[in-house]
Chains A and B, each alone.
Chain A
Amino acid sequence: MEAVSGWWDDFFWGSVVVLQVFITSLIMMVLFGLIGAAAKLSNNRVAQKLAGAYTVIFRGTPEILVLLLIYFGSAIFLTSVAQSFDPSTKFVDIPPFWAGAFAIALIVGSYATETFRGAFLGVDPGQIEAARALGISSLQTFIYVQIPEMWRLALPAFGNHMLSLIKDTALISIIGLNETLFVAEQATGTTGKPFTMYIVVGCIYLAFSTVITLTVMALEKYSNRHLERAR
């Protein structure tokens, strides 16, 4: 374990990066999921088809492929755009942080689309009709009636999506994000102790997963408290 001693601060900052990517992609993932679910539930046939294609594409291709496509694809595109302005430009890319967070949010968002769709369908139509009858606008119904009722239904599956998200951050080290797995690779290079270093990474991820699992359990308890009392 003494091999790790000089690397604790690097692992700490690596974990901070993991956390930053996680939070950024979580926000995007919720957005993609809500938009996708809204499109699937809408009456617009084009929106339905687009959302359907979105879920099929991103649930059917490997995460690493989506990540590399977005990172290198955007880099090629941006470089060619930049070269048309200034021919001396060599290489322009989106920072791995943003390319990576966007990629994993897109992937997990496609799963979240299905979860949110199911949760919205699970909201009792009577509740929406009651809101309409009270003269509440459809936007207000969405925010004050549908969202508070659906998130309770979506929570168990949503917890799994958060776990996928935190685990997928490890992939972003492939495109050079300096998160824990990347730190471990560097540390291995100098210390020659790969097992020790990668086990540290495993423990960090296990800690993150544990915190997420416990949080989701607490949230589930909180969101079902009205059922608890009724019993």
Chain B
Amino acid sequence: MSFDLSLIVESIPKMLMGIGLTMQLLFISAALGLALAIILLLMRISGKWYLAWPSLTYIYIFRGTPILVQIFIIYHGLPQFEFIRESILWPILREPYGCAIVALSLNTGAYVSEILRGGVLGVDRGLKEAGAALGLSVRQRFVYITTPIAIRLAIPAYSNDIVSLMKSTALASTITLLDMMGIARTIVAETYAPYEVFISLAVIYMILTLFIQKGFGLFEKRMSRYVKQ
């Protein structure tokens, strides 16, 4: 039982080889999840029950179950069906990489949709009324008034969700992917030195979290530049 410094020096470069995969999982899932979230949001605020209900059900299911269970259903569960194995989606769902991206996107989409909805609901009614008084159409009001303000209002919560998404990418290691977490688990299995390896990995993740928060902080500042001068 000792703290082996040379092991830390050795394992950090190895774990950083997985940062590319972690980043791919993060960025691709964030982009796909955002697209899904926007679709879900538009369905939900459309005012038509046959659009709003499926969106609500989707959000309820994906926010009510653990992401790990969702990953397992997609990775281990779906190949149970013949039609999945014969479908055009099979090349994606056959690989753990594709499954991780699908699961993370579907999951984050549900959360982000709620965040965006909070932003849309937070837009002052007076501004929309002003837009109507100026003769803007419903669509113009949504695009030019609601959307920019809703984006600014949603940034803090969205930033938190991106941090959660980054933390969830570590779960890809449970379906054999060698992201940073997967590599760390391999090293620990070989050396049996959890303290050195896991603590240095924790520091790497914390630095990434810091970058995400700082980045969104700057973005929020820029989006809020009209608020007070």
| Chain A interface residues (CB < 8 Å from chain B) | 56-57, 59-66, 68-69, 72-73, 76-77, 80-81, 163, 167-171, 173-174, 181, 184, 188, 192-199, 201-202, 205-206, 209-210, 213
Contact = CB atoms under 8 A, between A and B. Distances in A.
Contact of B66 (A76, A77, A167, A188): A167
A205 B64 contact: yes
Contact of A171 (B68, B209, B210): B68
Interface stretch (B144-152, B193-201, B217-225): B193-201
A65 B171 CA distance: 9
A73 B198 contact: yes
Interface of B: 1, 60-61, 63-70, 72-73, 76-81, 163, 166-171, 173-174, 181, 184-185, 188, 192-195, 198-199, 201-202, 205-206, 209-210
A68 B171 contact: no
B198 A80 contact: no
Given A64-B173, A69-B202, A210 B80 contact: no
A66 to B, nearest CB: 8
5 contacts: A62-B169, A65-B181, A170-B66, A170-B69, A198-B76
B199 A167 contact: no
B66 A171 contact: yes
A-B pairs with the 8 shortest C-beta distances?
Answer: A62-B170, A195-B77, A170-B66, A60-B209, A209-B64, A80-B1, A72-B194, A60-B206
Given A76-B194, A199-B73, A202-B69, A210 B64 contact: yes
Nearest to B166: A62
A72 B201 CA distance: 15
A110 B159 CA distance: 17
A167 B168 CA distance: 12
B81 A195 contact: yes
Contacts of B67: 167
Contacts of A66: 202
Given A77-B1, A195-B80, A62 B168 contact: yes
B199 A69 contact: yes
B161 to A, nearest CB: 12
Contacts of A72: 188, 194, 198
B66 A68 contact: no
Contacts of A77: 1
A163 to B, nearest CB: 8
Nearest to B67: A167
B206 A61 contact: yes
Nearest to A77: B1
Nearest to A210: B64
A168 B209 CA distance: 20
A68 B194 contact: yes
Contacts of B185: 68
Given A206-B61, A206-B64, 5 more contacts: A59-B209, A62-B205, A65-B205, A81-B1, A194-B72
A217 to B, nearest CB: 14
Contacts of A65: 170, 181, 184, 198, 201-202, 205
A162 to B, nearest CB: 12
B61 A63 contact: no
